[in-house]
Amino acid sequence: MSDTPDLVVVGSGFFGLTVAERCANELGLKVLILERRHHLGGNAYSEADPETGIEMHVYGAHLFHTSNEKVWEYVNRFTSFTNYQHRVFGQYAGQVYSLPMNLALINTFFGKSHTPDEARALIAEQASEIDTAEATNLEEKAISLIGRPLYEAFIKGYTAKQWQTDPTKLSADIITRLPVRYNFDNRWFNDTYEGLPVDGYTAWLTKMADHPNIEVRLETDFFDVADEFKGKVPIVYTGPVDEYFGNSEGRLSWRTVDLEAEVKEVDDFQGCAVMNYNDQDVPWTRIHEFKHFHPERTYISGKTVIVHEYSRFAEDDDEPYYPINTAEDREKLLKYRELAKAEPMVLFGGRLGTYKYLDMHMAIGSALSMYENKLKPHFADGAALTSGGVDE
């Protein structure tokens, strides 16, 4: 793209690609995507392990799921999905349990069979020490939902490893995502649609950018070229919001993960895609075995790749993965939102730009809304590009 683009998108993750695709395809705009990594796709990027050919999700396992019809219709324009359904198992004190909390786990843990009503009554009694409506943090919320014995076995140690923050200082919202079921349903997600992209994530992400009006400029940090575009062209920025403002209000805290991959000379290492390790004294949080994500594929026999996942606070040079979202973070974020509102011709979006944990379908849904509510009215009807700040 030699001439000036109509729109600059910073970051080629699902948020940036969705905005770029809509603006190029529907409005015929010339879109320049700036991406500081050597590849497009953000954290959903995947590639084949060189030794085994097994598709590896380079920044951690990514499972697609949604109940949003609009998002499901949209993503199916770029890829079809397998019928993979995610299930997770967990090890605690030498025993393997079927997660999430369900009747199988309750029966194994308490060493006795329960009918659904018996299990419900047991957990209600164990959870009665705290009223869910009054729970103000993760620990209280979890105990109010599942009782102290299950909390201490399956949540306390895992959460301490994953967040390295006292569970009483973590937001109760984190645990809302963990269902408790009084039946044997052990699907991890409750959504209507679920699956993995048939040809892999990178094929899907590449197809979204495959348009003559879209240029993806890799290994280009926006901050090195910002003067060329700031104030001259509308910008959709999906990098970290604090970084955009030079961390003027202080850095927002993030958690990162370390992923250690190794090839094992066996067909099957653990019999499932994800095994959580709930004991606090096991240093990793979980092991992923990627071949199990695609049972429909024929991979090399006699080898498998496993990935140990470790969690820790992100330092300056680490990838920011999960917003920690302490009270101090929320205060800083409010200040950044004010700054973002005042920033001319820049819209902030995506997981890093909003400092919100967004699943892929949420990032895509939020990008479709930004397109419909802000970008299309501006480009198609001449409406002022009121930034509105960070997309809330």
Residues that bind ligand UDP (CB under 6 A): 90, 99, 154-155, 158-159, 162, 174-175, 177-178, 276, 278
SS3 47: strand
Of the candidates 22, 286, 337, 351, the residue annotated as catalytic is 286
357 is catalytic: yes
Rg of the Cα atoms in the chain:
22
Smallest gap from Cβ 359 to ligand UDP, in A, equals 8
Active site residue 262: no
Catalytic member of 22, 37, 181, 351? 181
254-264: strand order across its sheet: 95-98, 88-92, 274-277, 286-289, 304-313, 254-264, 322-323
Helix, strand, or coil here: 298?
coil
Which of ligand UDP, ligand FAD, none has residue 222 at its interface (CB below 5 to 8 Å by kind)? Answer: ligand FAD
Among ligand UDP, ligand FAD, none, the one that 13 touches (CB under a kind-dependent 5 to 8 A) is ligand FAD
Q: Is 201 in the site for ligand FAD (CB under 6 A)?
A: no
- 200 sits near ligand FAD (criterion: CB under 6 A): no
Rounded Cα–Cα distance for residues 291 and 54 (Å) = 6
Cβ atoms within 10 Å, residue 113:
11
- 37 given a catalytic annotation: no
The number of residues that bind ligand FAD (CB under 6 A) is 35
Contact in structure between 64 and 14 (CB atoms under 8 Å): no
Axis crossing angle, helix 201-208 with helix 14-27, rounded to the nearest 10: 40
Q: Applying CB under 6 A, which part among 113-121, 150-158, 161-169, 347-355 lies near ligand FAD?
A: 347-355
Indicate whether 276 belongs to the interface with ligand FAD (CB under 6 A).
no
Give the residue with the Cβ less far from ligand UDP, 128 or 176.
Answer: 176
Answer for which of 5, 14, 102, 181 binds ligand FAD (CB under 6 A) is 14
Q: Catalytic pick from 242, 309, 343, 391? A: 309
Tokens of 299: 């991979």
Q: Is 177 a catalytic residue?
A: yes
In a 3-state reduction of DSSP, which class is residue 243?
helix
Is the Cβ–Cβ distance between 305 and 290 less than 8 Å?
Answer: yes
Catalytic residues: 177, 181, 255, 286, 309, 357, 359
